[in-house]
């Protein structure tokens, strides 16, 4: 659910990330459903049993009272029928367990002045007798009829009950009377309510105990998984000696042994790679330093030859010129190799000072205009406030980016844009040259990589320029990114945070030029937050 309520979002995240939470929740829901079904079944069974028992008792009680009343009528000496009616009502009250008695002469019979009138012991009883029960009592097919009703007392409170109907035959032509006896089920309802409360409390206690039990079991079951996750996290964090302890279970112990064997193998491979990397770094550094001495000698020899080249032929002069050019290129390569070795060894020292990026960019652009066949335009939208950077490294980054634009810009104009916001300063170098495919863009910052090695180079180069530029940006806490499309040109973006305290920032310039589309290979898009890369460096301020 993409548009879920903010209150539910933390739970959804926890739900997706925690198998223990899902297990406990599903177990609790299933257990709660089972307890609910069991509770409903018990309450329904108890309710039906209580009601059936109370109904049967009422029918038996009513039958006994009706039989006693009819016997009294049959044994009477045929005196006053009104007195006999009152005696019958009292007999019913004394014989039955109910005091709700309603004696009514059936309608439709011939009038008889001596017939006693209808009588009742409570006014709510006649109101509770329904027309269906009255009609059924008049038919007289069965000796007893009953119907569940709701009694309403004087205060208006409803109460469930049962009315049992039977007939009595009075002498002297008085006719047939319907006898209605009401039985309230308040005691049954109270018993059912007590059972429901007891079941509810029991269910709550059971759910609490089951929840605690599930939590304890989940903690026990998922403990080896947590240990494995913690060990793998420590191992990924650089603790090479992190190992998974045994869990006293055959399956998890097998997992622990396999994990520990894998960690041992991985540690040995990492040590081998570290040794090889250290040897490689030492080799590059040592070779670079060792080559300086013969290279200096060759340069001196080249300068001596160049000083006397006026007396030589044209071919020899050209050879001396090529020799000097290649010596300069060799020196540049050695310097780049030494710089790369410093980055690999983590021995980079930044000599920072407050620097105006706009002035620095204009200075670099001005120095490259004489060797460029392109028009280099500097657009300063911001970035006039100084920031603490190493000017030498910034100058090297900008020289690399503008130099690449000159090489591959196909003599189209080059636009260098600088802008800033409250958290960062950004520089974009845009050309409309040959561009690169997405496959080439992924490797543009790789060492010694070129998109087209056969292309003629105007400014020379070693294939390490962009790799060093990316490292220079990273040691400042910045990010160097690239966008490029074949035939549409290339756009490099350098984003630098304002100070050491800034850990996340938004670039004030878009990586993808206006009117162009981004792809999955573009590292970031407009408005994206960038995180400061971690580098172990020494910083110095003037």
CATH domain 350-541 topology = Heat Shock Protein 90 (3.30.565)
How does DSSP classify residue 117? Answer: P
Phi, psi of 463 (to 5 degrees): 85, 5
> Is pLDDT larger for residue 15 or for residue 528?
15
What integer best gives the mean pLDDT of the chain?
80
pLDDT of residue 541: 46
In the predicted structure, residue 345 carries a pLDDT above the cut 70: no
pLDDT of residue 537: 47
| Sheet strands side by side (includes 100-105) | 119-120, 100-105, 175-184, 158-170, 145-152
Provide, rounded to the nearest whole percent, the portion of the chain with pLDDT above 70. 87
CB burial of residue 537 (10 Å; 0-12, 13-18, 19+): middle
E strands, 138-234, are 145-152, 158-170, 175-184
Query: Domain residue spans in the chain?
Result: 1-235, 243-347, 350-541
Mean local confidence (pLDDT), 123-127: 81
* pLDDT grade for 108, boundaries at 50, 70 and 90: confident
Q: What's the full length of the chain, in residues?
A: 542
Mean local confidence (pLDDT), 382-391: 90
* pLDDT grade for 538, boundaries at 50, 70 and 90: very low
Mean local confidence (pLDDT), 96-108: 83
| Of the candidates 420, 415, 364, 365, the residue with the CA atom closest to the CA atom of residue 387 | 420
| Of the candidates 198, 121, 130, 131, the residue with the CA atom closest to the CA atom of residue 162 | 130
Mean local confidence (pLDDT), 501-529: 71
In the predicted structure, residue 229 carries a pLDDT above the cut 50: yes
In the predicted structure, residue 270 carries a pLDDT above the cut 60: yes
Mean local confidence (pLDDT), 476-489: 90
In the predicted structure, residue 178 carries a pLDDT above the cut 90: no
pLDDT tens by residue, 38-77: 888 888 888 888 888 888 888 898 889 888 888 888 877 7
Q: Which CATH number fits domain 1-235: 3.20.20.70, 3.50.4.10, 3.30.450.20, 3.30.990.10?
A: 3.30.450.20
pLDDT tens by residue, 304-314: 777 777 777 77
Domain 243-347 carries which CATH code?
1.10.287.130
Distance (Å, whole) CA 289 – CA 212: 69
């Amino acid at each position: 659910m993409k548009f879920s309520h903010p209150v539910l979002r933390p739970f959804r995240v926890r739900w997706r990330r925690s198998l223990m939470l899902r297990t406990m929740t599903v177990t609790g829901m299933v257990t709660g459903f089972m307890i609910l079904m069991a509770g409903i079944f018990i309450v329904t069974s108890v309710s039906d049993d209580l009601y059936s028992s109370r109904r049967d008792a009422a029918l038996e009680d009513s039958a006994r009272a009706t039989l006693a009343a009819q016997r009294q009528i049959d044994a009477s000496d045929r005196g006053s029928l009104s007195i006999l009616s009152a005696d019958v009502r009292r007999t019913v009250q004394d014989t039955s367990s109910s005091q709700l008695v309603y004696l009514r002469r059936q309608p439709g019979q011939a009038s008889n002045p001596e017939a006693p009138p209808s009588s009742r012991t409570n006014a709510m009883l006649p109101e509770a007798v329904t027309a269906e029960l009255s009609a059924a009592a008049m038919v007289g097919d069965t000796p007893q009829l009953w119907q569940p009703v709701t009694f309403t007392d004087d205060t208006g409170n409803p109460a469930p009950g049962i009315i049992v109907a039977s007939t009595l035959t009075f002498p002297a032509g008085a006719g047939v009377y319907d006898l209605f006896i009401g039985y309230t089920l308040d005691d049954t309802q109270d018993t059912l309510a007590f059972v429901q409360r007891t079941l509810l409390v029991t269910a709550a206690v059971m759910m609490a105990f089951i929840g605690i039990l599930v939590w304890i079991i989940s903690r026990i079951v998922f403990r080896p998984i947590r240990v494995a996750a913690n060990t793998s996290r420590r191992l990924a964090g650089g603790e090479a000696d992190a190992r998974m302890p045994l869990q006293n279970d055959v399956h998890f112990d097998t997992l622990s042994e396999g994990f520990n064997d894998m960690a041992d193998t991985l540690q040995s491979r990492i040590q081998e790679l570290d040794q090889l990397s250290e040897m490689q770094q030492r080799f590059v550094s040592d070779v670079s330093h060792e080559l300086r001495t013969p290279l200096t000698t060759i340069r001196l020899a080249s300068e001596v030859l160049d000083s006397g080249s006026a007396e030589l032929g044209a071919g020899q002069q050209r050879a001396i010129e090529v020799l000097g050019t290649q010596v300069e290129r060799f020196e540049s390569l050695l310097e780049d190799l030494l710089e790369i070795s410093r980055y690999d060894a983590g021995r980079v020292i930044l000599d920072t000072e407050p620097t105006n990026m706009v002035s620095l960019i204009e200075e670099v652009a001005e120095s490259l205009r004489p060797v460029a066949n392109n028009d280099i335009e500097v657009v300063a939208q911001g970035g006039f406030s100084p920031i603490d950077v190493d000017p030498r490294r910034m100058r090297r980054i900008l020289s690399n980016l503008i130099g690449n634009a000159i090489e591959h810009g196909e003599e189209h104009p080059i636009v260098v844009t600088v802008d800033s916001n409250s958290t960062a300063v950004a520089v974009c170098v845009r050309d409309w040259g040959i561009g690169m495919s997405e496959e080439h863009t992924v490797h543009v910052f790789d060492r010694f990589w070129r998109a087209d090695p056969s292309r003629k180079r105007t400014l020379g180069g070693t294939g390490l320029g962009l790799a060093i530029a990316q490292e220079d940006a990273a040691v400042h806490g910045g990010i160097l990114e690239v966008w490029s499309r074949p035939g549409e040109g290339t756009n490099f973006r350098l984003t630098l945070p304002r100070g050491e305290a800034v850990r996340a920032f938004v670039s004030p310039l878009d990586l993808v030029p206006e009117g162009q589309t981004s792809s999955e290979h573009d590292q970031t898009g407009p408005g994206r937050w960038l995180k400061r890369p971690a580098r172990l460096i020494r910083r110095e301020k003037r």
